[in-house]
Amino acid sequence: MDVRQAASVKVPHAEFFPPPPAPRGPNVWRRRLHDDRRELTRFWPVVQNMVVQELKVRYQRSILGFVWTLLNPLLMLATQGFVFSHLFRANVEHYPVFLFAGSVPWMFLNASLSDAAMSIIMNEGLIRKIYLPKLIFPMARVLIGLVTLVFSMAAMFLLLWPMGARPSWSMLTLPAAIGLFAVFTMGLSLVVATANTFFRDCGHLISVFLQAWYFLTPIIFPIEAPMFDRVRWMLELNPAYSFIELFHEILWAGRWPRWELWALASVIAVVSLGVGYATFKSQEDKMVFRL
Amino acid sequence: MPRSSRKKTKWFSDSDRAASATLDPGMMPLIELADVSLRFVNYADKQYSLKRAMLDLVLRRESNAPKGEFWALRELSFRVHQGERIGIIGGNGAGKSTLLRLLARIYPPTSGQVAIRGNVAPLIEMGAGFNPELSGTDNIVFNGAMLGFSKQEMLAKAAGIYEFTGLQEFADLPLKYYSSGMYMRLAFAIATEVHPDILLIDEALGVGDAAFIEKAKERLRGLVDRSKVVVIVSHDMESLREFCTRGLWVQHGRLVGDGPINAVIEAYLNATTARISA
């Protein structure tokens, strides 16, 4: 029976679903985390593939692909820069750089959330045909946004050189700021991906909500602006404030951000990811029935 | 089990032990269903909206969104061992495809437990996870990643896949321009080329031409000779008879027949003709 011997060399790992019963409480989540780490390692190439293919489609088809993707944020920056520095007289030094430091990360948040909201529904074809951990769909969308963010940030910083964009030592902390912001975005993405799968009209709400949130975040005007005097505490409660402020400090002011700001951003990022993960995982099994 | 020490994962140790401590892995069933039921909640309006949920909440009326439920599978229990070729038969809507999806982990069971040992390659509704925008070769890599194979491994298998399908000249064409036959051939070739432990096929051979079906059967036979499990859902009794060793007859979500393929098909056909003549 050489067949059996061949099989005994590699004992396949047994997959149980639902997994063997475990005591309720923290153990459930510990096992979920453990399983997810195993699954994400196994399916990491799929995520990679999705990200690479998407970027390829975006950048490779036309030689000008990358320029095109920059054009949209650039034009938006130019319009806003003109409107707010000339018409509304935002008295901010190097105003275009200030605007850039806040709005480019915001575009990442915006794009990630609206893409992630659709990610489960858009991949119905895959989900109904082959088993994939559903976590990878919002994750791929956030990673695509992240790559775009890094590219456009670098390119636009160079373009803003004549407007006063200058490198500084504090930029060494930029990866940490981007990382924290990405964690924060991932958490929110998981929430909207879950919500939109179960309630399809969430998509409309999300775009309206994002628009309102944008104006409640000190991106166009610095939080020090006199117009915010009375509502400053409200702006500081805004969960996105600490991240945007990090980017302002690093990219615009060229200062090392205060440690309180880092602490606040880290706490918010971790809470966001925790809430997002819990929301997503508790509904994950039901998603396929709602497609 | 990448990067995880056994010590840390006590809560998972039961299944670990189950898989590793057996004396004879050849006797371990690759598929084991214990009292598995699956309930579909039939959402009358699939897009149960937030607006309605909110209205229901505010007006304090009973949420009437989930309308009726129906048990697609009820209390299924069976085991499949290495080298078995299973044919699942039954009328339309009996739950055959649902059962296959359950085995592919696409649907989680509502109650009961499913254990799968080994990697699964599903061929469900033509093409198990392709991206129509990508070229043939890119899809081989993409699909391979989902089945657990690296890019290098899949590129090494690409030659074999093209040889079997004869699609070499379309390797760089986006999949959306493939005909349904070509699509299916590619899906079939990938799923069989990776030598899965468990191959699930849902009427996938339906669109192939006669020559291809012959070739496909040949290939499946080769696969089974390496003692893998193949599960086929089909209405084509002749090929099931020719190909399978064991039949599972599903009716209204229940397993009503399980045994040698010929006996199960006989029983199924008798029951069907009896119902028609009655």
Task: Give the chain B residue whose CA is nearest to the CA of A28.
Answer: B11
Residue B185 has pLDDT above 60, yes or no: yes
ipTM of the complex as predicted: 0.80
pLDDT of residue A4: 41
Higher per-residue confidence, B268 vs A70? B268
| CB contact (8 A) between residue A45 and residue B43 | no
pLDDT of residue B25: 54
| CB contact (8 A) between residue B138 and residue A31 | no
Provide the 8-state DSSP code for B30.
S
Residue B181 has pLDDT above 80, yes or no: yes
| CB contact (8 A) between residue B117 and residue A13 | yes
Helix (H, G, I), strand (E, B) or coil at B116: strand
* Digit-coded pLDDT (tens) for B206-257: 667 788 888 888 888 877 777 688 999 988 888 888 888 999 999 999 999 8
pLDDT of residue B184: 85
Distance to chain A for B221, nearest Cα, Å: 15
Confidence tier at B18 by pLDDT (50, 70, 90): very low
Q: In the block, which residue shows the tokens 């969430």?
A: A202
Task: Give the chain B residue whose CA is nearest to the CA of A134.
Answer: B106
Question: Looking at the partner chain, which of B26, B107, B146 has a beta carbon nearest the beta carbon of A130?
Answer: B146
Task: Give the chain A residue whose CA is nearest to the CA of B41.
Answer: A289
Mean predicted lDDT score pLDDT of chain A: 85
Q: Which chain A positions have a beta carbon within 8 Å of B128's beta carbon?
A: 129-130
Task: Give the chain A residue whose CA is nearest to the CA of B52.
Answer: A199
| CB contact (8 A) between residue A12 and residue B1 | no
Q: Which chain B positions have a beta carbon within 8 Å of A200's beta carbon?
A: 47, 49
pLDDT of residue B238: 85
| CB contact (8 A) between residue B83 and residue A41 | no
Give every CB contact of residue A33 below 8 A, 6+ residues apart in sequence. Answer: none
pLDDT of residue B3: 41
* Digit-coded pLDDT (tens) for A215-235: 888 888 888 877 778 888 888
| CB contact (8 A) between residue A27 and residue B15 | no
Tokens representing residue B169 in the block: 């000249």
Mean predicted lDDT score pLDDT of chain B: 80
Interchain CB contact of B66 with A (< 8 Å): no
Interchain CB contact of B238 with A (< 8 Å): no
Question: Looking at the partner chain, which of A16, A131, A289 has a beta carbon nearest the beta carbon of B104?
Answer: A131
| CB contact (8 A) between residue B47 and residue A200 | yes
pLDDT of residue B213: 81
Q: Three-class SS string for B93-104?
A: CCCHHHHHHHHC
Residue B5 has pLDDT above 50, yes or no: no
| CB contact (8 A) between residue A20 and residue B138 | no
Q: Are B85 and B243 in contact (CB under 8 A)?
A: yes
Question: Looking at the partner chain, which of A16, A53, A198 has a beta carbon nearest the beta carbon of B131?
Answer: A53
What does the buried/exposed string (b/e) look like for B120-145 if buried means 16 or more CB atoms within 10 Å of the residue's CB? Answer: bbbbbebbbbbbeebbbbbbbbbbbb
pLDDT of residue B29: 87
The arrangement of strands across the sheet holding B198-202 comes to B120-123, B198-202, B229-233, B85-89, B246-251, B254-260
* Digit-coded pLDDT (tens) for B87-146: 999 888 888 889 999 999 899 998 888 999 888 888 887 666 788 888 899 999 999 999
Residue B165 has pLDDT above 70, yes or no: yes
Q: Are B137 and B60 in contact (CB under 8 A)?
A: no
Q: Which chain B positions have a beta carbon within 8 Å of A31's beta carbon?
A: 11-12
Low-confidence ranges of chain A (pLDDT < 70): 1-14, 17-25, 60-63, 88-90
CA torsion, ordered A182, A185, A186, A190, to nearest 10 deg:
180
pTM over 0.80? The answer is yes
pLDDT of residue A92: 79
pLDDT of residue B15: 40
Distance to chain A for B7, nearest Cα, Å: 13
Higher per-residue confidence, B66 vs A260? A260
Length of chain B in terms of residues written:
278
